[in-house]
């Protein structure tokens, strides 16, 4: 075999790998139930089984319950497949459609009081399991309580019980709160009426009276007016189903606040293919203003936060994808959160988390249904006002008829902007820093200048203190030829050498050995006594020949050459 010839065993190895890979692919596409060349999910025998038998067949074949393939377990499956019905980690074909009633019946909890607005739904149930009086026909005006709300199956309408706590003896704090709690409105369908009772509860708490103490006469009159007003709720009705089939849905949330309360209400605007629009109330929320009084803009912002949460929960509960969502308020957020104070910044950030700034629009107060929540109203006026049940009139028209989203700004409003302050030191640059662009070079220049100034001052001081030809000599006990009247220089360690003062000897004090060690001196500041070791004698010109030069004074000037170190 030549060097250029390719070995034959390499080709055999590649052929073997290809064959093995093809065999593996055929095994993956082979049914584990009938051993035919198709996947398990296409097998007719597997499709004919119920979910329980499919589950057992997958376990017997040791298949992954998530992707129905072999070779791994469900916990090690990398497909991340989930059931389309229950969103759990198993294959959709293994999902067991067990009715909640059957599942609860296995545990001994049998569901009763079934009711529906469609008679065929109740046809397969026995009479004792039905909440209505007849399973064969819908009884007119028959109501069924659900979550505290009365429902009429015949007309598919929701209504409220008007005989809640109408009793003349309810005059204590305990009885009033108990009666108000019976008026249960989870969806906020009568929020403008309920908010009046909430305001009364806040007034009761401010009294700080006992639970069984009689309430004041003023509170009692307000409570009786609210109770009597609730009798008019018997005529209030609203449709349970608020949507139109095959229609585009828009969600419109209205916001408003006052000094007493604030709230939000959300409406569904359904428009079908024919162009017909239907406006229906979905839900609302109301809150009384906190005891710690807030400004009206802050209450409006709190209402905007409440509206953002309400919109998020309604959209999640209804499981709908609206075409577009709108938020209507008479206030405007015009800046990002970081430009406001802490209270405003936190709530603006929360509002912008659940909504987009372009979704917010301005609405006049007279056409804002949330204004009814913020102020409260009687049941009689509530029934006569169509603004609450169907929203503003312009909402049923096209968007071109809606209010303008660019309101005029208010100049006299108190903006709660964050005060940003910074400490700034205004210092002018000295012209000396323009001499050089290098700081180290500038330091060296100043060092040379300071040394020149120091040398010049030292020379001037010496010339001022002494004559031009005079110099000094240290006095020691061995060399103390001090005469009265001689000039000396006093040593002072606290002063520089150039500032040592001059003095004149006025008296000497020799010891027992006739050696002068202490002298009395007269200075410009007074008479002092100093040892001779702290003085320097000022020599006269004729005294310089003995020590000035090494050649016994023959040379008046001494030349010392410069020494260089390498």
Local structure of residue 290 (DSSP, 8 states): P
**Euclidean distance between CA atoms 163 and 145, whole angstroms:** 14
Q: Tens place of pLDDT for every residue, the chain, 566 residues?
A: 343 344 444 444 343 343 333 334 444 567 888 888 888 888 888 888 888 888 888 888 888 888 888 888 887 888 777 888 777 888 888 887 666 677 677 778 877 777 887 777 776 667 777 766 544 455 566 777 777 788 888 788 888 876 765 555 557 888 888 888 888 888 999 999 999 999 999 999 888 888 888 889 999 998 888 888 888 887 788 888 888 888 889 999 999 999 999 999 999 999 888 878 889 999 999 999 998 888 888 899 999 999 999 999 999 888 877 778 999 998 775 556 666 677 888 888 889 888 888 899 999 888 999 999 999 988 888 888 889 988 999 998 888 888 876 656 555 555 666 666 677 777 777 787 888 888 899 899 989 999 998 888 765 444 444 444 445 555 555 555 667 888 888 888 888 877 888 899 999 888 888 888 888 999 888 899 988 888 888 877 666 555 444 555 455 555 444 444 43
Which pLDDT score, from 0 to 100, does residue 10 have? Answer: 40
Instruction: Give Cβ neighbours of residue 305 (< 8 Å, ≥ 6 apart).
Output: 347, 350, 351
Which pLDDT score, from 0 to 100, does residue 309 have? Answer: 94
DSSP annotation string for 36-54? -SS-GGG-HHHHHS-HHHH
Q: Is 306 left (phi over 0), alpha (psi -120 to 50) or beta?
A: alpha
Q: What are phi and psi of 116, to 5 degrees?
A: -160, 155
Give the pair of three-digit tokens for residue 345.
């910044």
Crossing angle of helices 296-318 and 342-354, in 10° steps, is 20
**CA dihedral for 123, 128, 134, 140, sign (positive or negative):** negative
Instruction: Give Cβ neighbours of residue 200 (< 8 Å, ≥ 6 apart).
Output: 176, 180, 219, 222, 223, 226
Question: Which residue ranges does the chain devote to CATH 2.30.30.140?
Answer: 475-549+558-565
With tokens 């007016």, the residue in question is 225
For 405-472, give the secondary structure using H, E and C: CCCCCCCCCCCCECCCCCCCCCCCCCHHHHCCCCHHHHHHHHHHHHHHHHHHHHHHHHHHHCCCCCEE
Instruction: Give Cβ neighbours of residue 552 (< 8 Å, ≥ 6 apart).
Output: 545
Instruction: Give Cβ neighbours of residue 139 (< 8 Å, ≥ 6 apart).
Output: 132, 133, 154
With tokens 């001037």, the residue in question is 460
How does 396-429 read in b/e, with b if 16+ C-beta sit within 10 Å?
eeeeeebeeeeeeeeeeeeebeeeeeeeeeeeee
Strands laid side by side in the 277-288 sheet: 277-288, 261-271, 248-257, 324-329, 360-362
Parallel/antiparallel/unpaired status of strands 261-271 and 471-474: unpaired
**Euclidean distance between CA atoms 144 and 151, whole angstroms:** 5
Give SS3 for 527. Answer: strand
Cα-based distances in Å from 259 to 262, 300, 333, 387, 451: 8, 10, 20, 22, 78
Our measurement of the distance from residue 258's CA atom to the centroid of its chain's CA atoms, rounded to an integer in Å, reads 27
* 417-423: long-range contacts, CB 8 A cutoff, minimum separation 24: 417/335, 417/339, 417/340, 417/341, 418/338, 418/339, 418/340, 418/341, 418/345
With tokens 């405007």, the residue in question is 332
- What is the second-level CATH architecture of the domain 242-401? 2-Layer Sandwich (3.30)
Question: Which residue ranges does the chain devote to CATH 3.30.420?
Answer: 242-401
Tell me the longest C-alpha to C-alpha distance in the chain.
153
Top CATH class of 475-549+558-565 equals: mainly beta
Parallel/antiparallel/unpaired status of strands 526-531 and 516-523: antiparallel
């Amino acid at each position: 075999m030549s060097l250029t010839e390719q070995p034959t065993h390499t080709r055999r190895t590649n052929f073997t790998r290809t064959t093995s890979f093809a065999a593996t692919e055929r095994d993956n596409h082979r049914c584990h139930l009938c051993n035919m060349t198709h996947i398990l999910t296409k097998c007719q025998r597997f499709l004919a089984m119920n979910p329980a038998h499919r589950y057992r067949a997958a376990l017997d074949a040791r298949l992954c319950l998530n992707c129905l393939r072999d070779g791994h377990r469900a916990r090690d499956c990398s497909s991340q497949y989930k059931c389309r019905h229950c969103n759990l980690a198993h294959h959709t074909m293994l999902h067991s459609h067990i009715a909640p009633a059957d599942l609860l019946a296995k545990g001994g909890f049998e569901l009763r009081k079934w009711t529906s607005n469609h008679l065929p739904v109740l046809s397969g149930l026995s009479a004792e399991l039905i909440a209505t009086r007849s399973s064969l026909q819908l009884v007119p005006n028959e109501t069924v309580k659900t979550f505290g709300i009365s429902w009429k199956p015949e007309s598919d309408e929701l209504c409220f019980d008007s005989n809640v706590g109408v009793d003349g003896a309810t005059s204590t704090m305990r009885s009033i709160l108990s009666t108000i709690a019976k008026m249960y409105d989870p969806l906020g369908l009568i929020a403008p009426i309920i908010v009046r009772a909430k305001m009364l509860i806040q007034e009761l708490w401010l009294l700080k009276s006992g639970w069984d103490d009689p309430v004041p006469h003023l509170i009692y009159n307000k409570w009786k007016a609210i109770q009597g007003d609730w009798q008019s709720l018997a005529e209030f009705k609203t449709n349970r189903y608020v949507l139109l089939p095959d229609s585009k849905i828009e969600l419109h949330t209205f916001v408003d606040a006052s000094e007493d309360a604030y709230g939000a209400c959300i409406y569904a605007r359904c428009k079908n293919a024919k162009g017909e629009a239907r406006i229906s109330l979905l839900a609302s929320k109301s809150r009384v203003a906190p005891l710690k009084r807030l400004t009206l803009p802050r209450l409006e912002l709190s209402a905007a936060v409440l509206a953002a949460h309400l919109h998020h929960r309604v959209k999640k509960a209804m499981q709908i994808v609206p075409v577009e969502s709108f938020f209507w308020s008479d206030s405007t957020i015009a800046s990002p959160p970081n430009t406001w104070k802490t209270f405003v910044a936190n709530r603006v950030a929360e509002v912008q988390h659940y909504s987009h700034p372009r979704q917010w629009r301005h609405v006049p107060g007279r056409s804002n249904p949330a204004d009814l929540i913020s102020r409260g109203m009687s049941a009689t006026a509530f029934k006569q006002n169509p603004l609450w049940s169907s929203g503003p009139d312009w909402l049923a028209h096209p968007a071109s008829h809606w209010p303008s989203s660019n309101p005029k700004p208010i100049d006299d409003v108190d903006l709660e902007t964050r005060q940003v302050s910074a400490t700034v030191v205004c210092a002018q640059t000295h012209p000396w820093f323009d001499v050089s662009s290098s700081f180290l070079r500038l330091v060296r220049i100043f060092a040379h200048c300071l040394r020149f100034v120091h040398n010049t001052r030292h020379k001037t001081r010496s010339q001022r203190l002494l004559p031009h030809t005079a110099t000094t000599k240290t006095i020691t006990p061995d060399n103390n030829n001090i005469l009265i009247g001689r000039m000396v220089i006093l040593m002072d360690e606290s002063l520089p050498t150039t500032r040592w003062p001059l003095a004149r000897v006025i008296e000497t004090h020799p010891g027992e050995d006739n050696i002068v060690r202490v002298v009395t001196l007269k200075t410009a500041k007074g008479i002092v006594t100093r040892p001779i070791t702290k003085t320097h004698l000022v020599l006269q010109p004729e005294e310089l020949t003995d020590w000035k030069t090494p050649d016994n004074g023959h040379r008046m000037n001494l030349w010392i050459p410069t020494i260089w170190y390498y």
